[in-house]
Structure 1
Amino acid sequence: MEALPRETIVDVLESRLREDILTGRHPAGSYLPPERTLADGYGVTRTTLKHAFGRLMQAGLVETRHGVGTRVRDYLRLGGADLLPMLVRHSPDWIGEVFEVRRSIGALIAERAAARATVGQRAELRTLLAAVGDAADADAVQLADIEVHRALARATGNRVYVLLTNTLFNAYLPVRAALRGPFTDAHVARARLDPVVEAVAAGDEAGARRAAEQYLTATERIMLEGLA
C-alpha cells in the first residue's frame, strides 16, 4: 500500500484561493487584496501566501506585478488545455465538455489513421488491442485502452493529434477511478474497440470514423453513468 500524501498549509491555501477564483469570488481581471490583508484573513504567514501564489501563477490563474499587485487572469480567454485537469477536479461539469471534444476529435483521428497508418502501425494497433483483452483488471484494461488511442493518434502522422489525445486523457486523471465502467470486462472492452482497429487496419476511412463514433458514444454513456 502507498502512503497517502499529507496536505500542507500551502496545499490547503492554494486550494482555497483556487476555489475562490474559479467560483468567481475573485473575478477575472480583478486584483486580489494586499498580501498582508489576505494572509491575515486566511490566518497564514505572508511566506505561505507567496508559495501559494507561485503555484497559482504556474497554473495560469493569477499574475503578479511588482508594486502593482496580484491580478486574476481570464483563464477562459488566455488559458490553455493544460488547465483541464484542474478544472475537472474543481467541477465535474467540465467532463461533459471534455467528452464532446473526445467524440469529435476521436472520430477524426480514426479516419486520418485509416488513411495514413503504415504497415508497422497497423500491426502495432492489433498488438495493443490484444493487450486490452489480456489485461488483468479494470485499471489495467483502461490503461491498455488508452495506449490504443495514443497509437491511433500517432498513426495519423500529425503530432498535434498526439498532443490533443494526451491532453484529453490528462483531463480524465482527477476522476479516472470513476470512469472504469467500460473496462470491467477485458473481453468486452476489446470487442467494443475491435471494429475501430480493424477499420483502420483495412484503410477504411469512413468505416473507421463510424466505428470510432459508435465506440466513443457507447463508452461515454457508461462512463457518465459511473460518474452519476
Structure 2
Amino acid sequence: MDDPITRDTTVDALERRLRDAIIDGRHPVGALLPPERELAASYGVNRTTLKHAFVRLMQAGLVETRHGVGTRVRDFWRLGTAELLPSLVLRDGAWLAEIFEVRRQVGTLIGELAARRATARDVAALRQQVAAVRAGGDADQVQLADAEFHRTLARATGNRVYLLMTNTLLGGYLPVRQALARPFQDAAAAADRLHPVAEAVAAGDERAARRALEAYMTDTEGLMRTTDGQRPGREP
C-alpha cells in the first residue's frame, strides 16, 4: 500500500505520485489503473481528489479515461506532445537543458524572421514590452513581462506556428520560474538585454537580431543555471 498523503497538498501530491509512477513505468503504457475506489484508498484520499488529479494527468497527455472502461495509461512517448514538458521538468530538471537547446535554436530563427517581417505596430509592441520589463516591481513580474516580449516577438513573424512553439517552450519552464529568477531580479538589466533585440527588429536587421538573441540566450541561460543553488526538478 502506498503511503497516505498529507491533507494540505492532496491534489498536487497525488498528481505528482501518479505522474512519477506512470513515467517510471510502474503503471505501464496501455495498462488500466486500479479502480478509482481502490486507488483512492491506497493513497488515503477521496475519489473527488482522485478525479481532480486525473484531470491534470489527462491534460498532460499521460492518461485517458473512458466511461465504463476506466483510466488507461497512454503511450505518451509515442503520442505525447509538448504539453508534457511542464510535468517532465517538474520531475527532472535535466529536461531544462533540452528546453534551453531548443529555445536557443528556435529563438534566433524567430528573431531573424521578425526582423524581416515586423510591422510598425509590432515594433511598437516590442518596445512597449521592453518598457514593461523595466517597470517590473519584482522578479516574477519582470520574468512574466519578459515571457510576453517573446510572445510578441513570435507574433511579429506573422507565422502563428512560431507563436504556439514559443508558448510551448515558455510552458516548459514557467511552472518552475521561481527557481530560475536570477536573470530577472534586476529589472533594468533584464530590459537592457531585450532592448538590442527590439531595436534590431525595428531596423529590419536580421543579423543584428540573431546576434542580440544569441547574447540574450547565453546570458539568461547562464544565470538560470546558477540560480542561488536552487535547482528545478523533483518536487519535495
TM-score calculated relative to the size of structure 1: 0.84
1:149-192 deviations in Å (ceiling 9; x for gaps): 11111110111111221222222222111211112222222222
Sort the Cα spacing of 1:19 and 1:125 in 2 relative to 1 into closer, same or farther, 3 A: same
| Secondary structure in structure 1 of the residue aligned to 2:64 | strand
| Secondary structure in structure 1 of the residue aligned to 2:204 | coil
1:150 partner amino acid:
R
Displacement of 1:84: 1.5
Is the contact between residue 90 and residue 176 of structure 2 (CA under 8 Å) also seen in structure 1?
yes
1:185 partner amino acid:
D
Unaligned runs of 5+ in 1: 1-5
Displacement of 1:40: 4.8
Is the contact between residue 111 and residue 153 of structure 2 (CA under 8 Å) also seen in structure 1?
yes
1:169 partner amino acid:
L
Unaligned runs of 5+ in 2: 1-6, 232-236
| Secondary structure in structure 2 of the residue aligned to 1:225 | coil
Is the contact between residue 61 and residue 83 of structure 2 (CA under 8 Å) also seen in structure 1?
no
- Which residue of structure 1 aligns with residue 3 of structure 2? none
1:65-95 deviations in Å (ceiling 9; x for gaps): 5565543112121111122222211221222
- Which residue of structure 2 aligns with residue 212 of structure 1? 213
Give the aligned CA root-mean-square deviation in angstroms: 2.4
1:164 partner amino acid:
M
Once the two structures are superposed, the pairs formed by residues 46-61 of structure 1 within 5 Å of their partners are: 49=50, 52-61=53-62
Sort the Cα spacing of 1:219 and 1:64 in 2 relative to 1 into closer, same or farther, 3 A: same
1:21-73 deviations in Å (ceiling 9; x for gaps): 12222232333345565445434556654554444334321224556554311
1:74 partner amino acid:
D
| Seq. identity, % | 65
- Which residue of structure 1 aligns with residue 134 of structure 2? 133
- Which residue of structure 1 aligns with residue 160 of structure 2? 159
Once the two structures are superposed, the pairs formed by residues 10-21 of structure 1 within 5 Å of their partners are: 10-21=11-22
